[in-house]
Amino acid sequence: MKTKALVLISLCVIAARTAAGEMVVERWGSHGRVQHRGVSYEAAGQAKQMAVSLAPLTKGTKIYRSRLVFLTGEGYEVTAKDTRGRDVTLKLVPPYDLWFNATDAVAGAVGAGHETLELTLHSFSGFEPEKTFLEIAYEGKLKTRPQQVANLKAVYRPGQVLLTWKEIWDIAGGNPEVRWGEMVDKVHNCTPLGIEPIERDREIRYRVYCHTQPITPGNIGQAKLLYSVKPGSVYIEERVPWAVHGEHGPRYLKKGEILKRVTLEPDTPLPPGTGFHWHTVGKSGLAYYAVITAIDGVENTVDISSQNSIGPINQRAETPMPMLYRDVVTELRQPDGAEHHEQWYNWWVAPPLSPYPKRYDVVVSYCRQTMLKPAPLIVTRGHAWITVPEPPRAGPHEAVYLAPSPNNPCPFWMGIPNSYYNLRSREQARWRPDTQKRNELLIKWVKSKVPIDTNRIVGAIGCWGMMEIERPDLYAYLHGWGQPEMTKGFQAWGRAQIWGSPHTYEGRPRTEDPWYRQDYGRWILEDPRREIPFFSIHLGWGAHFTEMGWPPFPRFLRAMIDTKRPFIYRWQVRDGRPIIRKNQSVPAFGNCSLDDNIGNGDLNNGYPLGSGQLNGYLNWDSKTIVDGPNRWEMTVMLDATAPLDACTVDLTPRKVQRFKAQPGQRFRWTCTFLPPLKDEQKKEGASPGEELAARLVNGSRLGSGSITADEWGLVTISQMRMQKGAQRVVVQRQ
């Protein structure tokens, strides 16, 4: 009896599923690969009315999902009438923002028995009716069942699920070394979202679903559609590889370049014909996944098995971090047995840490035998016109190097609006400094992998943006040259259009306006109290200031001097530079009598670029700094290569840890020249403090006086005299 009862229950379940029908997914449009062509358009002033004949859907038909898809254009604002005749705005579906959620609008119209759904396009640019369709998933009878994918697998890593499967069509024909010369007639375009195949006969998509229960034909209507994956998703190319003959020569395809594929195991790329999708977990708990084939929009929602569904996966919502895929090991000549590691990582990142879902390359490089323990961390970035990391050459480095990659397109390493590769326009988009947010996360991640001296994190910023200057709590110092304002050179101005027009940001919070944020001459002047990392500004590494904009530099440097910031422009010291730490005071030199005239921004005025310097012959000793509540001491030097034997300079203690001052407080200062020790005065193994004490014995006073803390609480010795060599400066509270 028990067996018969179970059979009866099973038959009832099957009968109930059969009676309930299947989930059918079809398209309504005016042209193209659609199943129903009852869609028309009519101008309504500046708007456009879209009328969708809902036949063959009848009143009472169950609606599971509906997507309004525009394959071209941007800036769409769409409304639909609800059952009470009110306009309801359709919303883009995150994180890709490639279609609008029209489920409620369609369900409301069908439920009310309407034969037509009225949609209004209030705003749009680049709209093409033949590349627009409304997709509806409803309860009905499936007419065709496309071939399903096979061998679905899932790799779970903290915060992320990586899905792979065998595609029903391999765009590379099984060739693991397929080259662009063979693919150019198969690929329409490349974007960071993946390659876009040319599909002449049929459109193949792989629909990725997620559910809290095992996905079956009976419940797929309740599963969440995550993404519609195109064939060739295993390839990680971000653009078709074109090059130029000569500096301004003809453009040509790099036909011999092999397409790069996703690698989940080090040095083992996924095979051709593999489908791939990464999903960042939004909610912790058990989850099930399925990949369903769709041909011209019609999904096979019936044939669901262990070949194309998987689970449960016990997943957690947390921020995913990079995943190793290649370790390039270089044997070094010195020291004996030393190896340099250049480790390449995949990092799949979703908004808001990126403007759109994107894979980034991250490189960590080091030499275990020579790196300090803990080691300095140097965050080095590449050129502003490429989107891959540029790690340093292999060598016996004492530091660990982190080389991240920027957004695509790259706007000075400062973030882009979230209107790229989706349906948003610049006016609808939001700008965030996501590049810097990612770098901050990467720094924490590297610290969890190797022993890092958190007080010696360096920003090697090169040119273009310099947002790192806002983070003295993170970076000990910056080196490079940055670009203090992105509006003065034609190349910089052109690149800044990535953000959209400055007028786009009118009325928005200034923190969300890149045109405002990028002006660091303004930022420096705004609040002299706030600290910055020490800034070693040196021109080089291929700076093209005639194109990128020299004019803002004199303004920026003048602002640095006037607000008493710690910087050196073109450091030329002979005997090395001090170790600079985040938790240690640094000197802010200013108005040095040896400074060159760097001009007014005109390249024909003063000594700009390669010939000028500010504070370039000044140095200090970071081993003997005294930074107490009432006393600050530092040994400062004038380099032997200086053109004169003496100079005068303003000196302000900056980034003080304990030596705090209030406006109006009085201090005494002295400057004592330190003669070098004679051979008989030197003691083997003497500490820096002991050597300093021995030199002070024979020191000579160069200057002294009384000073008052200024309105910002900064204590400045004005026009202090220095000689070639070292001098000890003492500032003491009265």
Average pLDDT along the chain: 93
Last residue of a domain, one of 315, 345, 363: 315
Q: Which of 191, 176, 259 is nearest to 230 (CA)?
A: 191
Look at residue 247 in the predicted model and tell me its pLDDT: 65
- Mean per-residue pLDDT, 131-136: 98
Rounded CA-CA distance 388/403 in Å is 9
Of the two residues 489 and 687, the one the predictor is more confident about is 687
Contact 566, 532 (CB under 8 A): yes
- Statement to judge: residues 108 and 226 lie in one domain: no
Strand arrangement, sheet containing 160-166: 150-157, 160-166, 274-280
Are 638 and 617 in contact by the 8 Å Cβ rule? The answer is: yes
Q: What is the pLDDT of residues 383-426, one digit of tens each?
A: 777 888 999 999 999 999 999 999 999 888 999 999 999 999 99
* Residues ≥6 apart with Cβ < 8 Å to 368: 339, 341
- Beta-strand ranges (E) seen in 429-545 are 452-463, 477-482, 534-537
Q: Evaluate whether residue 539 is within a structural domain.
A: yes
Residue 59 sits in a domain of what CATH number?
2.60.120
- pLDDT at 14 exceeding the cut of 70: no
Same domain for 379 and 259?
Answer: no
Higher pLDDT, residue 65 or 480: 65
Q: Are residues 259 and 339 in the same domain?
A: no
- Which residues sit opposite 536 in a β-bridge? 479, 568
Instruction: State the Cα–Cα distance between residues 149 and 455, nearest whole angstrom.
Output: 52
- Asked whether residue 444 is domain-assigned, the answer is yes
pLDDT at residue number 550: 86
205 in a structural domain? yes
Percent with pLDDT over 70 in the chain: 96
CB 359 within 8 A of CB 334: no
**Does residue 219 share a domain with residue 198?**
yes
Is the backbone peptide bond immediately before 533 cis, with ω within 30 degrees of 0? Answer: no
Q: Which helix (H) or strand (E) holds 191?
A: strand 187-191
Q: What is the pTM of this model?
A: 0.93
17 pLDDT above the threshold of 50: no
Q: What is the count of structural domains for the chain? A: 3
Residue 304 lies in a domain: yes
Residue 19 or residue 64, greater confidence: 64
Residue 277, domain extent: 150-315
Distances from the Cα of 466 to the Cα of 121, 461, 547, 600, 632, angstroms: 41, 7, 18, 21, 30
Are residues 28 and 69 part of one domain?
A: yes
194 and 311 fall within a common domain: yes
